[in-house]
Structure 1
Amino acid sequence: MNEQRGSDVRESIGELAQRLVAADTDGWTPEGMKAVAAELGWAWSDSSDAPVLITGRSSGPARLRPVGEYEKRYVDGESYVEIAVPVAAPAPDAAAQAAAFRAAKEEVTAALGEPSVMGSHGDMGPFYDSEPHWGAPFLRWRGRPNTLELRAGKSGPELVLQPTGPAENWFWRQGVGEEHSISGFFGSNRDEANIGLGFPGGWTARSWETVTRSLGDFLGALPAETTALAVRIGMPFYGRDSRSAPLLFDVACGDRLSIACFAPDDIDPAALGWGTVADHPHTASVFGDDDPVWRVDAGGPGEPKGHALAEMLVATARAAGVSDPTDLIVGGEAGYVDGYHVTYYGLGLPTG
């Protein structure tokens, strides 16, 4: 093993995670960051707009994110808000990206234990950063003063060390009630590390056009994100009409996305785009062969046509008598995912 660990390509992702968590960032000052770079055996470069740390890893250099226009209102004396270290460089397709993220999760979890927070950033990452097109899953090992996040980066999974306060302050302030003010989903478990964790408010979809967009974004990325996170989501949707709120849809997603439809007898699901088990044989392992009759297999990572699926669900809900977006309700059962309590901020739909 080389003396300079930062240039040692044999250092595992788990070992890197342990060293990042143990680093003394000293208030995230310039001096503190240079000391961290030296401690990790990384070379400091000021050749770009933001400092780059040469790690010697084949996946590329680490990046420091300085406090700028979008970060300054959320900090308390810090000069930087994260160190992002690429840990893999998979092919750009969703399946390869999700598999690389999942492999990194397994290594970090073996080193640090189960993450205390998991979710998806949706289309808006911390401090308004743009997210990968295939999905935006993340896992966090929350701590004080710093938190380690495994994040889907532009080219592959990244380990991101960040001061806990600014990142959570940014997230908490997004819940302003305007449509699409916050996206993705956020789940926390009962780990004592989450004591004091704050949760933002949500927003409410005010039109079916908004529901179509938010639901399409969610469904399009869902199998890639659940594959990456190694979780399975079961999400019933209920449609409130003038008399009751019967079950309309059942969304099930692990490594594939399957959706069942429980349409009233007076509408024609086939005309709205739904098929049967004969059309979608993969759904037999999820819903059985006979009931419900109507279903769709949307595929695995990168395969779902999110907007088209959302249009089909919205058209079916409206045909079933759901007159307003606030009457399309996400079942409370969806809020419990593998030990995490999850809020689906990006949907803009009520939960009940």
Structure 2
Amino acid sequence: MRALATELGWAWKGTPDSPVLITGRPSGDARLRPVGTYEERYVDGESYVELAVPVAIAASDAAAQAAAFRAAREEITAALGKPSVIGSHGDLGPFYDSGQLWGTPFVRWRGRPDTLELRAGTSGPELVLQPTDPAENWFWRQGVGEEHSISGFFGTNRDPANVGLGFPGGWSARSWETVTRSLGDFLGALPAETTALGIGVSMPLYGRDGRSAPLLFDVVCRDRLSIACFAPDEVDPAALGWGTVDRYPGTAATFGDGDPMWRVDAGGPGEPKGRALADMLVATARAAGVSEPTDLIVGGEAAYVGDYHVTYYGLGLPTG
């Protein structure tokens, strides 16, 4: 790393525990993350697990941060090609870091022995150089089955760079409170993250009621989040907070004027009230006869996001 800093003309400053590389870039200085107590179990001889270089500074609001991330992603993609991995770190970032409140999107160009990742940083997007094995070892070993052991979502394409990539096991929500928290976290950040990543998510949610598992909700998000409700006749969606196209005219472009009748427009980056939306979905599912969290099912169609196959680890819901 010292040789790299010298080659780039960067000055090495800071302390051994928190080295800083003075880059002279307007976006800020680079940071090295030494292997410490929480990282040593995942490494095999490496001295550092990250070199993070800020590439842009943006206003703190979700829309500005998402736009800055998207611009950086497009520029790097033009130079390196499509990333082999996309996703969101959720509230549990690499090596137990906490993410940004507006969202935690990332794209990754996987390689050997190193991987390049564009990540949501404190003031804007950061380009992170990391040894591949420690980062993937950390992620893989989070699949212990405990609630919230993995958050966010993780998607891969058929790039040869992904050969040999391992995937952790997931976890299952054991209470409706857990479902409410996981759904709230997911929905609150979703439009900012899809905007940053340049993707669209279409996620049907089915509810097993003891007889069958009909479609209950359709979550659709690109630059705005819209949710449709297909509650059975015995449920009163209006009483639970759902509206019609008259109340949410913007949803007509997503769902059509009358099918489904009940829907909500949750807004763009930074606008969705994740907890309130999750409360509404859970209340509707339970009113429709979904008795257990394991009976709320993510449709398998949601796994296909453009060229990527996505696993929604942070939801803790079964896929079928």
1:211 maps to 2:146: no
Normalised by the length of structure 2, the TM-score is: 0.99
Give the Cα separation in 2 of the matches to 1:333 and 1:37: 46
CA drift of 1:47 comes to 4.5
1:340 to 293, 302, 308: 308
Matches within 5 A, 1:19-34: 33-34=1-2
Residue number in structure 2 paired with 1:319: 287
- Which residue pairs with 1:237 in the alignment? 205
Match of 1:116 among 81, 84, 91: 84
2: distance between equivalents of 1:242 and 1:161?
50
Q: Which amino acid is 1:333 matched to?
A: E
Residues 1:143 and 2:121 are matched in the alignment: no
Instruction: Report which stretch shifted further, 191-200 or 33-42.
Output: 33-42
Structure 1 position 222, deviation (Å): 0.2
Select which of 99, 102, 127 maps to 1:159.
127
Aligned length: 320
2:37 is aligned with 1:69: yes
Which residue of 1 is the match for residue 56 of structure 2?
Answer: 88
Q: Does structure 1 residue 249 correspond to structure 2 residue 217?
A: yes
Residues in 1 aligned to 2:39 and 2:17: alpha-carbon distance in whole angstroms? 15
- Distance in 2, matches of 1:69 and 1:282, equals 50
TM-superposed CA distance for 1:48, in Å, is 7.3
Contact 2:17–2:34 (8 Å) recurs in 1: no
The Cα offsets for residues 147-171 of structure 1, whole Å up to 9 and x where unpaired, read as: 0000001111000000000000000
Q: Distance in 2 between matches of 1:348 and 1:211?
A: 7
1:267 partner amino acid? V
Q: CA deviation at 1:311?
A: 0.3
Unaligned runs of 5+ in 1: 1-32
Q: Look up the equivalent residue of 2:117 and give its one-letter code.
A: E
Alpha-carbon distance, 1:221 to partner: 0.2
Q: Which of these residues, 101, 116, 121, is aligned with residue 133 of structure 1?
A: 101
Q: Deviations over 1:82-108 (max 9, x none)?
A: 100000110000000000000000000
CA distance in 2, matches of 1:152, 1:344: 19
Q: Which one-letter code corresponds to 2:79 in the other structure?
A: A
Determine the C-alpha separation between the residues in 1 that align with 2:261 and 2:16: 58
Structure 2 equivalent of residue 10 of structure 1: none
d(CA) in 1 for partners of 2:16 and 2:24? 18
Measured against aligned partners, the alpha-carbon deviations of 1:278-303 in whole angstroms (never above 9, x if no partner) come to 11111001001011000000000000
Provide the residue aligned with 1:5 in structure 2.
none
Aligned pair 1:289/2:257, yes or no? yes
2: CA distance, partners of 1:344 / 1:289: 30
Aligned mates of 1:201, 1:282 — CA distance in 2: 38
- CA shift, 1:75, in A, is 0.2
Runs (4 or more) in structure 1 with deviation over 2 Å come to: 46-49
Aligned to 1:349: 317
Give 1:49 shift.
Answer: 3.8
| RMSD of aligned alpha carbons | 0.7
Once residues 211 and 80 of structure 1 are traced to their aligned partners in structure 2, the CA distance between those partners, rounded to angstroms, is 36
Provide the rounded CA distance (Å) in 2 between the counterparts of 1:46 and 1:155: 20
**Distance of 2:54 and 2:167 partners within structure 1:** 28
The code of the aligned residue for 1:244 comes to S
Are 1:57 and 2:14 an aligned pair? no
**Which letter does structure 2 place at the counterpart of 1:225?**
E
Task: Write the letter of the residue equivalent to 1:192.
Answer: P
Unpaired runs of at least 5, structure 2: none
Q: Distance in 2 between matches of 1:176 and 1:311?
A: 27
How far is the alpha carbon of 1:46 from its aligned partner? 2.7
